[in-house]
Amino acid sequence: MARKKKEIRTDIGWSNASSITLFGRDFTRDILGHLNLGDMGFLELTGRFPTPDESRMFNAMVVTLVEHGITPSAIVARLTYLGAPEAMQSAVAAGLNGLGTVFVGSIEAVAKMLYEAMPAADAQADVAALARQVVKAFNESKRIIPGIGHPVHKPVDPRAPRLREIARETGFDGPYLRLMEAIAEEAGRATGKVLPMNATGAIGALCCTLGFDWKICRGLGVMARAVGLVGHILEESRRPMGEEIWHHIDEIATAHMRPAAGEGEAA
Amino acid sequence: MARKKKEIRTDIGWSNASSITLFGRDFTRDILGHLNLGDMGFLELTGRFPTPDESRMFNAMVVTLVEHGITPSAIVARLTYLGAPEAMQSAVAAGLNGLGTVFVGSIEAVAKMLYEAMPAADAQADVAALARQVVKAFNESKRIIPGIGHPVHKPVDPRAPRLREIARETGFDGPYLRLMEAIAEEAGRATGKVLPMNATGAIGALCCTLGFDWKICRGLGVMARAVGLVGHILEESRRPMGEEIWHHIDEIATAHMRPAAGEGEAA
Amino acid sequence: MARKKKEIRTDIGWSNASSITLFGRDFTRDILGHLNLGDMGFLELTGRFPTPDESRMFNAMVVTLVEHGITPSAIVARLTYLGAPEAMQSAVAAGLNGLGTVFVGSIEAVAKMLYEAMPAADAQADVAALARQVVKAFNESKRIIPGIGHPVHKPVDPRAPRLREIARETGFDGPYLRLMEAIAEEAGRATGKVLPMNATGAIGALCCTLGFDWKICRGLGVMARAVGLVGHILEESRRPMGEEIWHHIDEIATAHMRPAAGEGEAA
Amino acid sequence: MARKKKEIRTDIGWSNASSITLFGRDFTRDILGHLNLGDMGFLELTGRFPTPDESRMFNAMVVTLVEHGITPSAIVARLTYLGAPEAMQSAVAAGLNGLGTVFVGSIEAVAKMLYEAMPAADAQADVAALARQVVKAFNESKRIIPGIGHPVHKPVDPRAPRLREIARETGFDGPYLRLMEAIAEEAGRATGKVLPMNATGAIGALCCTLGFDWKICRGLGVMARAVGLVGHILEESRRPMGEEIWHHIDEIATAHMRPAAGEGEAA
C-alpha cells in the first residue's frame, strides 16, 4: 500500500546558468537596483512590487521593529557571539528565537483579532460597535487585548502616532487602523486606564490594511530584528559586554548559596 | 580576591517613557518614515545615515542576498515550520544557522582577503600586481579563493555585472572592486578556467569600499536572508512541501535497508 | 520613579576555584561517575537523584525519543551542517527548533490533558468515567486528542507496549497510564477506529506519574533528540546527503517553471 | 547537460508499520529498556553498544558537560524563554548556539591536537617528546593550547582528576590521556604558570581513546548541555530571572546616555 504523494512545488523562483527568476521577474534586470530591502520584503509577502505609497508605509512598519537598544534578543545575540564568534549568523538566529508570543508576536495577535472582527476592510463599519464586541469577548474569556499600552512608553508609545501620520500621508489610515484605535479606547474605558494603541497595534492594523495573512505578521518583526541584531553583533565585536554580563549575573544569582566571606573559603 | 569588572555599555540607543533615541537621533521624528529597511541596516553598520548613493548601493547589495529560491536555508525553514508552526520566528532562525563559511560566509572571506592585500583603498594601487600576490599566496597554502566562479551560474553570475553597473552609477567602482576583478582574472589565468567575480565577490569588495569590518560582512547576508525566509514560510503555510520532503527523502535514504517487496512484510 | 526590581536567583548551582556545587551536591565527588546522562536529566527536573526504578524508567522514556531515522529534524540538522560545518552545535540547534506542537510537543499536550482530568494520581479513580469526560470535551471543542494513533506505526506503536512493560517492572504503571489507555480506548470507540496509546502518550502519562510540570515535558524530547542529532551530523560528515537533498528538491519544486527542453535555453 | 546525482543514504535506521530498526537492531526489543541515555549517545557515535566500562566512562564524560550553573548558554535560554514561552525547544536551541570555539569547542581542538601528534594510540610513545613538539608548534604559530588551565577553577579543575580516576578504573587511562597531561606539564614549564589539564582536556583525550572523529567531539558538549538547559528552563518557568536581567543590563549599559536626574525629563 503505497503512500499517497503530495506536491513539492514553489512559485517563488528558479535559476539556471545565466538567469535568476523571482516572482516571475528577471531578478538581475528588474529587481536588483530597483527595490530597496523593505520593498523586497513586500515582494516576498505579496508577490508584487509595492506602489510608492506601499513602499513608504511598509518600510516604516519594518523600520519600527529593527532596533530598540538592549532588548532580550540583543543580549541573547551578544552572549551567543561570546561563545561562537566564528558563527555570527547563529548569534543572530539565537536572538530571533525569542520573538514569540510575548514580544513581537503581538503583531500577529492584533491582526488575528482585527480580521476576526472585520474579515474585510469595510469603510462603512461601525468600528465603535465592533470594538465593544471585541473588548467584551476578550474580557469574558480573560484574554489580554494585544496592541495597546506599553510597559515603558507611557502613556503613549511615540511610534504609534508617527505610524498613524505616515498612514495618513500614504492613504492607509483605513478601517483597520480606526478599529484598532476604537478597541484601545474601549479597553481604556472598560479598565479606567489610558491604554492607547501601541506600535505593534498600529503595525498589526496596517498588516490587515495591506492584506497580509495574520499568520505571517510576526514575520515583519523577524525580518526587521535580524537587521538590528547584526548591528548589536558589530558593537559586541568592538566593545564586548557579553562576558561581563555572564559573570555579573552569575554573581547576583548565586550569592545566596556562596559561603559568607571569612567562612568556607578559609576552611 | 575580587574579579576585575569590565564595562557593560552600548552606544546604540536607549528609551524612556516618551522617546526612543537610536544612534544619537530621535527615532520617531528623525528615522521613522525617512529611512527604508536597507538604510536602517546601513545605520546599524556605520552609525550614520547613508547618502543617496550609499542608500542605493547598500540596498542593492542586501537585496542581492534576500532570495535564491529553494536553497538549503529555505528547506530548513520549511521543515522546521512543519513541526512548530506556532513559532515561525524559530523557523527563520533555523534557516539562518546555515549561513556559515560555505555559503554566505564567502562575503566575509572576500573582504578579509581584500583588506589584507590593500588595507586602505588606494586609487594608485597596482591591482594586477596585488592580485598576483594574492593568488600565489592562496595557491601555495592550498586555500580556495573566495568570490569567484559559481556552481550554477556559468560562466557569469549575472548579479555580479549588475552590481558592478550600480557601483559605477553610484561612484563605488573603486580600487577594491578592481582588485577583486583582477584576482578573478589572475585566478582564471592560473587555472585555465573562466572564473569571473561572482555576486559574493562583488558584495565583499563593496563592503571594503564602504569601510565595513570584515567580521560583520556575513551580516549582510544574514539580514537579507531573514527577509527571504519569511517569504518561504508564507508559501509553506499556503502550499506546504515540508511533509512530502520528509517522507520522500526518508524513502530514498532508507531504501537499501528495507526488505524487498514480497519479503519480510509478508512473513 | 524607580523601577521595582525583581529577584535574580538560581538554586541550580555555583562554583568557586576548587569546587562545583550542583543541586546541593559536590558535583565532582557525588555526581560525576555515579549518575548516567539520563539520571542527570532526572536530577535537572526534580532536584534529586533517581531511585534505581526511576533511573530505569526515565532513561527508557528519553531513549525512546533519541532517534527515529530520517526525521524533519535530522534533515534540518544535515542541511544546516552543509552550509556551516564549522558550527555543528548550530546544526543540532536548528534541528531542535522543529520540536514544536506538531511532533514532540504532544508529550506536553498529553501531560496537560491528564493533569486537568486528574490533578493528583488517584489509585481509586474511575478512569473509564474520566476518559469519557475527556474525550467528550475534546470532541465538543473539536480538538485532536494527543497521544493516540500514529501515522506510520499502525495499528500499534511498538514503543508504547514496551514502555508499558518497563513501567510495570518498575512500578510506574499507575493511574495516569491507566487513564491514558482509557482515553485511547474511549476515543477509538467514539470514532470506530483503532487508536491505541502511542509512544508520546505513554511518555506523557509517565511524566505525570513522575510528577513533572506539564510545561517541561517537551523537554524530554529536546534533551533526547539533541543526542540523536549529533549522530546524524556524524553520519553527514562521513556520507553527506545534504547537498543532494537541496538540488533534488529544487529540481522537483521548480520543474513547472522551467522552460521545456529544447525551448528557452536555446533561444 | 544533466547534473551528476549523488547518493542520499543513511545507515542509522528505518521503520515500518510495526517496527523500528536502529543501527541494525530492533529498537523496541533490543535497545529500549536496556540502554541509558548516555549509552544511546555512544551508540550514535560508534554504531555499537558500549561495554560496561565504556558505558561508565562515556556517561561520566557527558555528565561532566551537562551543567555549570549560570553560564552564557543558560542566560540565553532563559531570555529566549521570556519572549517565547510557548516554544521551549527554541530556548534550548538558542542556548546551544553558543557552544562554539570559545567554550565547548575546546574538546574538539584537544582531540584534533592529540590525533595530529599521535594518529593512533601508541602505548610505547614517548609522550614527553611528543608534548615538547606540540607545545613548540603551538607557541611558534601563536596559537593557544586547548585543554589546559581554567579561568575559574584554579589551579586545578576538580573535574579533571575525577575523570582521570574513572579512566583508571575503566581502563581508559591510555596514551592519549598521558599525552594530554604531558602537554599540560610542558606548557606549564614553558610559561612558568601552573596549567593543569582541565575537564575539556581530559574529555578530548578520552574521545581519542574511544576513537571518536575529532569533528564530532564538540557533540558531546552539545548533547549534554541540552539536558542541562532543560533544567534551566524549568527553573525559569518557576522563578523567572529573564525579565530582571534584561532591565538590569539595559540600565547599566545605557546609563551614560541618559539625562542626569533633574535634567531632561523635566524639560
Q: In what order do the strands lie in the sheet with B13-15?
A: B13-15, B20-22, B25-26
What are the cell numbers at B128? 594586477
Helix axes B52-64, B199-209, angle to 10 degrees: 150
Say how far apart CA C162 and CA B222 lie, in whole Å.
45
Put simply, the answer to whether D82 touches A72 (Cβ < 8 Å) is yes
Q: Quick check: helix, strand or coil at residue D17?
A: coil
| Tens digits of residue pLDDT in B225-237 | 999 999 999 999 9
Give the pLDDT mean for C138-146: 95
Partnered with residue D25 across adjacent β-strands are: D22
Which of D97, D246, D253 is opposite residue A94, by nearest beta carbon?
D97
Spell out which residues of chain A touch residue B36, defining contact as CB-CB under 8 Å: 36-39, 55, 59, 63
Which pLDDT value is given to residue A265? 42
Q: How confident is the model at residue A2 (pLDDT cuts 50, 70, 90)?
A: low
**Contact between C226 and D222 using a beta-carbon 8 Å cutoff:** yes
Task: Nearest chain B residue to D18 by CA: give it.
Answer: B265
CA–CA separation, A69 vs A54, rounded Å? 27
Give the gap in angstroms from C-alpha A228 to the nearest C-alpha of chain B.
7
Percent of chain B at pLDDT > 90 equals 90
Crossing angle for the helix pair C37-46 and C218-238, to the nearest 10 degrees:
150
Inter-chain touch D90–B86, beta carbons under 8 Å: no
Q: Find out whether D64 and C32 touch, Cβ atoms under 8 Å.
A: yes
Non-local CB neighbours of A72 within 8 Å, separated by 6+ positions = A98, A103, D79, D80, D82, D83, D242, D246
Which residue bears the cell 586555500?
Answer: B143
Cα atoms in the Cβ-side hemisphere of radius 13 Å centred on A264: 10
pLDDT computed for residue C2 by the predictor: 66
Give the minimum alpha-carbon distance from C249 to chain A in angstroms, rounded to a whole number.
8
A37 to B245: CB separation less than 8 angstroms, yes or no: no
Give the pLDDT mean for A236-245: 98
Of A5, A37, A56, the CB nearest to B244: A5
**What is the structure's pLDDT at C183?**
98
Q: How confident is the model at residue B265 (pLDDT cuts 50, 70, 90)?
A: very low
CB contact under 8 A, B91 and C97: yes
Nearest to D22 among C38, C67, C153 (CB): C67
Average confidence (pLDDT) over A37-61: 98
Min Cα–Cα distance to chain B from A253, Å: 16
Helix, strand, coil shares, percent, chain C, to 5: 60, 5, 40
> Do B82 and C91 lie within an 8 Å CB cutoff?
no
Cell numbers at A229, concatenated? 541584531
The pLDDT assigned to C260 comes to 76
Helix, strand or coil, per DSSP, at residue B4: coil
Choose, out of D1, D18, D31, D32, the residue to mutate when testing the contact with C (most C CBs < 10 Å). Answer: D32
Neighbour order of strands in the sheet with D13-15? D13-15, D20-22, D25-26
DSSP secondary-structure letter at D215? G
Helix (H, G, I), strand (E, B) or coil at A95: helix
Burial class (CB in 10 A: 0-12, 13-18, 19+), D102: middle
D104 neighbourhood in chain A, CB within 8 Å: 83
Look at residue C221 and give its three-state secondary structure.
Answer: helix
Nearest CA to CA, how far is A92 from chain D (Å)?
10
pLDDT exceeding 70 applies to what percent of chain C? 97
d(CA B225, CA A89): 10
Phi, psi of D23 (to 5 degrees): 50, 40
**Chain B residues interacting with chain C (CB cutoff of 8 angstroms):** 69-73, 75-76, 79-87, 90-91, 93-95, 97-105, 241-242, 245-246, 249-250, 253-254
Nearest CA in chain C to A13: C254
DSSP bridge pairs for D148:
D197
In chain D, DSSP finds a helix count (H) and a strand count (E) of 11, 3
pLDDT of residue A256: 96
Q: How many residues appear in chain C?
A: 267
| B260: amino acid identity, one letter | A
Q: Which residues of B touch D8 (CB under 8 A)?
A: 249, 252-253
List chains touching A (3+ CB pairs under 8 A). B, C, D
Q: Select from B70, B82, B100 the Cβ nearest to the Cβ of C72.
A: B82
**Considering CB atoms only, which of B8, B16, B87 is closest to D87?**
B87
C-alpha cell at D234: 524549568
Dist CA A203 CA A176 (whole Å): 10
Q: Report the C-alpha gap between B201 and B219 in whole angstroms.
A: 15
pLDDT greater than 70 at residue B267? no
How far apart CA C156 and CA C149 sit, in angstroms, is: 7
Taking the CA atoms of residue B147, residue C88, residue C238 and residue B74 in that order, the dihedral angle to the nearest 10 degrees is: -60
Chain C contact partners (≥3 CB pairs within 8 A): A, B, D
d(CA B248, CA B112): 41
Using only the alpha carbons of chain B, give its radius of gyration: 23
Question: Where is average pLDDT lowest: B49-63, D175-189, D253-267?
Answer: D253-267
Nearest to C97 among B93, B101, B102 (CB): B93
Judging contacts by C-beta atoms under 8 Å, the chain D residues touching residue C79 are none
- CB pair distance less than 8 Å for D258 and B8: no
How high is the ipTM of this complex? 0.95
pLDDT surpasses 70 at B257:
yes
Please list every residue in chain A whose beta carbon sits closer than 8 Å to the beta carbon of residue C253.
Answer: 8-10
D interface test, pick of B3, B8, B22 with most D CB neighbours within 10 Å: B8
Count CB pairs under 8 A between chains B and C.
130
User: C42 falls in which pLDDT band (50, 70, 90)?
Assistant: very high
Decide if C158 contacts C150 (C-beta within 8 A): no
Collapsing DSSP to helix, strand or coil, B69 comes out as coil
CA angle B259, B260, B266 (to 5 degrees): 75
CA B233 to chain centroid: 19
> Is the CB of A216 less than 8 angstroms away from the CB of B233?
yes
**A260 confidence band (pLDDT: 50, 70, 90):** confident
- For residue range D92-121, list pLDDT tens digits in order: 999 999 999 998 889 999 999 999 999 999
- The pLDDT tens digits of the residues spanning A124-140 come to 999 999 999 999 999 99
Mean pLDDT of A176-200: 95
Interchain proximity A11–B235, CB inside 8 Å: yes
What pLDDT is attached to residue A262?
52
Q: Does A249 contact D70 at a Cβ distance shorter than 8 Å?
A: yes
Please list the residues that pair with C26 across neighbouring strands.
C21
**Predicted confidence (pLDDT) per residue in C95-104, tens digit:** 999 999 998 8
Comparing alpha-carbon positions, the chain C residue that sits nearest to D161 is: C28
Say if the Cβ atoms of B88 and A215 lie within 8 Å. Answer: yes
Nearest residue of chain A to residue D87 (CA atoms): A100
* Residue among A65, A62, A63, A56 nearest A169 (CA): A56
For residue C259, what pLDDT is reported?
A: 87
What is residue C202's three-state secondary structure?
helix
CB contact under 8 A, B90 and D84: yes
- CA-CA distance, A231 to A187, in Å (whole number)? 37
CA-closest candidate to residue B65, choices B234, B232, B233, B222:
B222
Q: Hey, CA dihedral for B144, B145, B150, B156, is it positive or negative?
A: negative
Distances, alpha carbon C194 to alpha carbons C133, C137, D44, in Å: 19, 20, 34
Q: CA nearest B114: which of B185, B218, B207, B198?
A: B207
Q: CB C89 to CB D100 under 8 A? A: yes
Give the pLDDT score at A33. 97
Closest Cβ–Cβ partner in D84, D101, D245 for A101: D84
| Residue owning grid cell 517537551 | C218
pLDDT at B260: 76
Instruction: Say which residues have a Cβ less than 8 Å from residue C162's Cβ, sequence separation at least 6.
Output: D28, D29, D32, D33
Q: Which residues contact B176 (CB under 8 A, 6 or more apart)?
A: B114, B118, B121, B205, B206, B208, B209
Residue D182 near residue D130 (C-beta atoms within 8 A)? yes
User: Among all chains, which residue has been given the C-alpha cell 474585510?
Assistant: A120
Average pLDDT over residues C221-247: 98
With 50 as the cut, is the pLDDT of residue C114 above it? Answer: yes
Identity of the residue in B9, B94, B258 whose CB atom sits nearest the CB atom of D253: B9
Distance from CA of C209 to the nearest CA of D (A): 18
Which residues of B touch chain D, with CB atoms under 8 Å apart? 8-11, 13-14, 16, 21, 84, 86-87, 89-90, 93-94, 97, 249-250, 252-254, 256-258, 265
D159-170 helix and D52-64 helix, angle to the nearest 10 degrees: 170
Chain D neighbors of B11, CB-CB under 8 A: 257
| The pLDDT of residue C261 | 60
**CB atoms D230 and C224 under 8 Å:** no
**Other beta carbons less than 10 A from residue B156's beta carbon:** 16
Residues B206-234 as b or e (16 or more Cβ within 10 Å = b) = bbbbbebbbbbbbbbbbbbbbbbbbbbbb
User: What is the Cα–Cα distance from B58 to B175, expressed in whole angstroms?
Assistant: 17
